[in-house]
Structure 1
Amino acid sequence: MGLSEWALGGVYLSPMFLYGLAALGLTIGLRLLLQLTPLARWIWHEALFDCALFVLLLAGVTWLFSAANG
């Protein structure tokens, strides 16, 4: 799925929407796993950590899909 929009019922959607949903799911999953470990107590500002984790995962997902499509 490259970086071109696709139509869904006459509405054009950006691939970043799907990338964002994938990154959000990964963020939620990683945060839940992190809460089960004692590493979670080292997080000083949880909202800032969550935002940074989402941005890093979004960049990784975008890179992964763009590299897969050549």
Structure 2
Amino acid sequence: MNGEVDIAGVYMPGLLVLGIAALLLTALLTRMLGAIGAYRLIAYRPLVDLALFFIVLGALVLLFASDAPLP
């Protein structure tokens, strides 16, 4: 992935763009987990939501990184 992303003439760091995308995907996943009732089995929901955000962010970084090896 390139270091910067051009959005309407404004250069933004690539990690910021991926962080926003990860935040939106995490919000979607937490709604889905809440809808199926998975949060009834979890003792501390904010910690699980934070871990889910970092898992999604790491997956996006690996997906869009140009020099990272895929397993």
- Does TM, normalized by the shorter one, top 0.5? yes
Q: Is the 8 A contact 2:26 2:52 kept in 1?
A: yes
Q: Which residue of 2 aligns with 1:62?
A: 61
Structure 2-normalised TM-score? 0.79
- Give the unaligned 5+ runs of structure 1: none
Task: Tell me the C-alpha RMSD between the 2 structures.
Answer: 2.0
Identity %: 33
Count of residue pairs brought into register by the alignment = 67
Q: 1:31/1:8 Cα in 2 relative to 1: closer, same or farther (>3 Å)?
A: closer
Q: Which has the higher contact order (CA 8 A, sep 6+)?
A: 1
Structure 1-normalised TM-score? 0.80
- Give the unaligned 5+ runs of structure 2: none
